[in-house]
């Protein structure tokens, strides 16, 4: 992946995804072996949306591999005063070796990548969250082995996290089920792309409005907040619509007896997930959060290392 962008999980071929995940496991088991992979590299980390895990995990990843992280909020840049995203990309390309950005529309991300002369990584857009999916898949492999043939069930809003999980899951040959309320389904073009990928990998994609059936026999149960960043005004209405789309003990009981539970965090206990589940023995969300750093180390090393 030397010199390449990662704007979507779909930018990867299945074998490239498996290579990244293998490197993520390697760096987690032996961090010292990646200790100088980014020697002297400068990585701009731009956050136009709030961040905890993404910011700290990327900054830690860069620094621990011998690079220099330059963290910038959107309101600290001339972007906040009307400079175009394209001009920002052109200028930053003269100063840094890569740009990681958390932004809004996928078109904005693509415009930055088109103008920049250095690799651009999507740290979250309204369309996708590919770095989260890398950590999710790493966690699944750690706890339940190869996802091929296994059922990964996502319950909740058909959002950016769902899109990347769907794409990554079918790339690895998993059977991905997504249960959402009507009118909150994943984007149809993403579903269609998952169907296309699945035909070549042996996986499958299913979108349903029945969370109970989606959970039946699942190896993995996954959820996210009902109202994503920028949707705060919709939060109260979504609480009413999504009442039946909560991962609780009843839903967990329908999954496989050894099922694991994932959540990309931050979590709202009592809304999309119950406290007894996220804090229970089948929850691996803290490993999942840690794996953000390891997966992103692997990604940056492949993109930037000589």
> Residue with structure tokens 């293998």?
22
Q: What is the pLDDT of residue 76?
A: 84
Active-site position among 37, 55, 129, 263: 129
Active-site position among 175, 263, 264, 302: 264
Q: In the annotation, is 36 catalytic?
A: no
For residue 78, the Cα-to-chain-centroid distance in whole angstroms is: 28
| 42-88 pLDDT tens trace | 999 999 998 999 999 999 999 999 999 999 988 888 886 788 999 99
Active-site position among 127, 132, 138, 302: 132
Active-site position among 37, 53, 55, 102: 102
Q: How far is CA 207 from CA 82, 157, 190, 223, 253, in A?
A: 40, 12, 11, 14, 21
> Residue with structure tokens 């959970």?
215
Q: In the annotation, is 138 catalytic?
A: no
Q: What is the pLDDT of residue 79?
A: 80
Q: In the annotation, is 292 catalytic?
A: yes
Which own/partner contact pairs does 237-242 have at CB distance under 8 Å and 24+ positions apart? 238/157, 239/271, 241/181, 241/184, 242/156, 242/157, 242/181, 242/184, 242/271, 242/272
| Residues 64, 93, 7, 139, Cα dihedral to 10° | 0
> Mean pLDDT in the chain?
96
Structure tokens at 297: 């180390």
Confirm or reject CATH 3.40.50.1370 for domain 130-288, answering yes or no.
Answer: yes
Q: What is the pLDDT of residue 80?
A: 65
Q: In the annotation, is 175 catalytic?
A: no
| 169-191 pLDDT tens trace | 999 999 999 999 999 999 999 99
Q: In the annotation, is 131 catalytic?
A: no
- pTM score of the predicted model: 0.96
9-128+292-301 and 130-288 in the same fold: yes
Q: In the annotation, is 216 catalytic?
A: no
Active-site position among 37, 224, 294, 296: 224
CATH of domain 9-128+292-301: 3.40.50.1370
Q: What is the pLDDT of residue 235?
A: 77
Per-residue pLDDT tens, the chain, 306 aa: give them: 999 999 999 999 999 999 999 999 999 999 999 999 999 999 999 999 989 999 999 999 999 999 999 999 888 888 867 889 999 999 999 999 999 999 999 999 999 999 999 999 999 999 999 999 999 999 999 999 999 999 999 999 999 999 999 999 999 999 999 999 999 999 999 999 999 999 999 999 999 999 999 999 999 999 999 987 666 678 788 899 999 999 999 999 999 999 999 999 999 999 999 999 999 999 999 999 999 999 999 999 999 987
* Domain ranges (residues) in the chain: 9-128+292-301, 130-288
Exposed e or buried b per residue across 99-117, where buried means at least 16 C-beta atoms within 10 angstroms of its C-beta: bbbbbbebebbbbbbebbe
């Amino acid at each position: 992946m030397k010199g390449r962008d990662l704007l979507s999980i779909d930018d990867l071929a299945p074998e490239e995804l498996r290579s990244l995940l293998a490197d993520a496991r390697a760096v987690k088991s032996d961090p010292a072996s990646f200790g100088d992979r980014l020697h002297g590299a400068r990585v701009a980390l731009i956050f136009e949306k709030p961040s905890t895990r993404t910011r700290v995990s990327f900054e830690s990843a860069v620094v621990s591999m011998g690079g220099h992280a330059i963290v910038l909020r959107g309101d600290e840049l001339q972007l906040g005063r009307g400079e175009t995203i394209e001009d920002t990309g052109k200028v930053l390309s003269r100063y840094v070796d890569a740009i990681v950005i958390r932004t809004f529309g996928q078109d904005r991300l693509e415009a930055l990548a088109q103008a920049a002369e250095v690799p651009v990584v999507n740290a979250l857009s309204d369309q996708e969250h590919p770095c989260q999916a890398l950590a999710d898949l790493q966690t699944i492999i750690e706890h339940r082995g190869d996802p091929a043939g296994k059922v990964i069930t996502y319950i909740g809003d058909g959002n950016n996290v769902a899109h990347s999980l769907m794409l990554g899951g079918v790339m690895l040959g998993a059977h991905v089920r997504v249960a959402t309320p009507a009118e909150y389904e994943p984007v149809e073009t993403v579903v269609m792309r998952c169907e296309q990928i699945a035909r070549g990998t042996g996986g499958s994609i299913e979108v349903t409005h029945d969370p109970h059936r989606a959970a039946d026999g699942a190896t993995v149960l996954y959820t996210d907040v009902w109202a994503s960043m920028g949707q705060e005004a919709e939060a109260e209405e979504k609480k009413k619509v999504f009442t039946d789309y909560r991962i609780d003990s009843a839903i967990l009981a329908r999954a496989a007896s050894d099922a694991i539970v994932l959540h990309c965090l931050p979590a709202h206990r009592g809304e999309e997930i119950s406290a007894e589940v996220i804090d229970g023995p089948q929850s691996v969300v803290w490993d999942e959060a840690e794996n953000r750093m390891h997966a992103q180390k692997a990604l940056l090393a492949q993109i930037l290392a000589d």
